[in-house]
Amino acid sequence: MVRKPGPKHQMAVAVDMVVLSLRDGRLHVALIERAAPTLRSWWALPGGFVLQGESLEDAAYRELSEEAGIGRGSVVLEQLATYGAPDRDPRGRVIAVAWVVLGANLPDLTAGSDAARARWWPVEEIDHLELAFDHPDILRAGLERARAKLEYTTIATAFLGGTFTMSQLRGVYEAVWGQRLEAGNFHRKVLQVDGFIRSTGEYTHGRGRPAAILVAGPATVIQPPILRATN
């Protein structure tokens, strides 16, 4: 242990975000095509350096706003893990605090100050893409975190707007897990979790029987959890 932080211990600290959203029923992640000299034209997760007076969470929100035009109110943030291999960034020692960000109806992306392009990618197509730095690891961990969290928390509603139907909620699970769920059983399960959803009393109208319009309830945990198929 060293008593005081000295120059030997100073390093750059960054935040990197795995921003997930549903677009026409499929799970997408926000990626930036780098314009900076280092790894130019590689695709990467949005992110940037933490400033001195700024908390890690504030840095994440600032970068979301600068790089993707995403405001504070429209997303849920959760810290994922911190990546600090000495050689993970060719520019020097950079410690990256990674976040998972879930949002509803997020806007199309526009290239920010340091991006050539920015767009939403369907997660199944990412395998064909080479991501910069250790971002493949971070993305994989972020996806797994999101999938796991749907099992035992109510954050699926973060992917939906203020109101939604049971089918739409089920659609979130199906898109994130990449797996079909039986509609009747899902319906019953969600209802029996106290405070997961509340009914507004309103109903949709379209083809088929009208669906109850729901809003997220106060519950945060699902007990017992909704489990993915194990295959």
Site residues, DNA (CB under 7 A): 165-167, 182-185, 187-189, 191-192, 203, 205-212, 224, 226-227, 229
We find the least distance from the C-beta atom of residue 122 to DNA, in angstroms, to be 22
How far is the C-alpha of 38 from the C-alpha of 46, rounded, in Å?
15
Nearer to its own copies, 23 or 228 (CB): 228
Q: Of its own copies, DNA, none, which one sits near residue 167, judging by CB under 5 to 8 A according to partner kind?
A: DNA
CB 87 within 8 A of CB 76: no
Determine which residue in the list 67, 103, 126, 150 makes contact with its own copies, applying CB under 8 A. Answer: 67
How far is the C-alpha of 103 from the C-alpha of 76, rounded, in Å?
6
How many residues bind to its own copies according to rule CB under 8 A? 48
Q: Which of 101, 121, 142, 157 is nearest to 30 (CA)?
A: 121
How far is the C-alpha of 163 from the C-alpha of 122, rounded, in Å?
24
Determine which residue in the list 69, 112, 136, 217 makes contact with its own copies, applying CB under 8 A. Answer: 112
Determine which residue in the list 23, 33, 39, 56 makes contact with its own copies, applying CB under 8 A. Answer: 56
Q: Tell me: does residue 53 bind its own copies (CB under 8 A).
A: yes
Stretch that binds its own copies, among 86-94, 178-186, 196-204, 210-218 (CB under 8 A): 86-94
Q: Which amino acid makes up residue 70?
A: I
Residue with tokens 């295959």: 231
How far is the C-alpha of 158 from the C-alpha of 166, rounded, in Å?
14
How far is the C-alpha of 15 from the C-alpha of 78, rounded, in Å?
12
Q: Of its own copies, DNA, none, which one sits near residue 114, judging by CB under 5 to 8 A according to partner kind?
A: its own copies
Determine which residue in the list 97, 138, 172, 226 makes contact with its own copies, applying CB under 8 A. Answer: 97
Q: Of its own copies, DNA, none, which one sits near residue 220, judging by CB under 5 to 8 A according to partner kind?
A: none
> Quick count: other Cβ atoms within 10 Å of Cβ 66?
15
What is the DSSP track for 120-185?
Answer: EEEGGGGGGS-BSTTHHHHHHHHHHHHHHHHHHBSGGGGGS-SEE-HHHHHHHHHHHHTS---HHH
The vertex-148 CA angle with 145 and 152, nearest 5°, equals: 130
We find the least distance from the C-beta atom of residue 197 to DNA, in angstroms, to be 10
Q: Tell me: does residue 8 bind its own copies (CB under 8 A).
A: yes
Q: Of its own copies, DNA, none, which one sits near residue 74, judging by CB under 5 to 8 A according to partner kind?
A: none
Which stretches of the chain bind its own copies, using CB under 8 A? 1-5, 8-14, 36-37, 46-56, 63, 66-67, 79, 81-82, 84-86, 91-95, 97, 112-115, 223-224, 227, 230
